[in-house]
Amino acid sequence: MSFINYSSREINCKLVYYGPGLCGKTTNLQYIYNKTRPDAKGKMISLATETERTLFFDFLPLSLGEIRGFRTRFHLYTVPGQVFYDASRKLILKGVDGVCFVADSQMERMEANIESLENLRVNLQEQGYDLDKLPYVIQYNKRDLPNVVPVEELSEVLNPTKVPEFEAIATTGVGVFDTLKALAKQVLTELRKGG
């Protein structure tokens, strides 16, 4: 849930990057961290295993400019993608304001994408959210790899409701900020409606 503090004149919003294991959620956050001005970001925290797989979450606080005298701050989180960390994923979705689903474009990960997306929907429902009513974008990552599914096909399977979708190569940053901006915009637009 977004948090408006009239005392410090701040708006805080929580964005969650969701998706199957090794789809590039952490890589998205790392790229954002590396390309953001030092004064606009906090420390990036990764709770990861020794093999650098996300164990609980990654966290990156970003501070955008001011809107109507209120400083807008976004807290970016990733979930652990591996199937057996489902209990942790549920916890991170608590209080979410917007979701980015990162899909792995490779042919052999199609099933994992579908399973993860279904898992997202179910876990949100458990928290009382409806994915179709939340600010939500999809990113098709790893477009530089040789065996990728055409975007039209990914879109047909993973994006039936036609939310904003972006092609990306998170390792080099292609599409990373476009995805973030689109999601942040949706969240702020919801705030305008009085969310």
Q: Which residues bind other proteins (CB under 8 A)?
A: 1-8, 11-12, 14, 37, 42-43, 45, 47, 56-57, 59, 61, 64-65, 67-68, 70, 72, 75, 87-88, 90-92, 94-97, 128-130, 133-135, 181, 184-185, 188-195
- For other proteins, the closer CB: 87 or 108: 87
Identify which of residues 60 and 169 has a Cβ nearer to other proteins in the complex. 60
Give the closest residue to 93 by CA, choosing from 1, 29, 175.
1
Pairing of strands 54-67, 45-48: antiparallel
Q: What is the CA radius of gyration of the chain?
A: 16
Find the shortest distance in angstroms from Cβ 141 to other proteins. Answer: 21
- Shortest Cβ 152–other proteins spacing (Å): 28
Minimum Å gap between C-beta 135 and other proteins is 7
Closer to other proteins by CB, 6 or 84: give it. Answer: 6
Q: How far is the CB of 16 from other proteins (least distance, A)?
A: 11
Closer to other proteins by Cβ: residue 151 or 181:
181
In order of 37, 80, 144, 154, 181, the CA distances from 52 in angstroms are: 25, 11, 22, 28, 27
**Residue labelled with tokens 């939340």:** 134
Q: What is the CA angle 195-126-1, rounded to 5?
A: 25
* Whether 162 contacts 132, CB under 8 Å: no
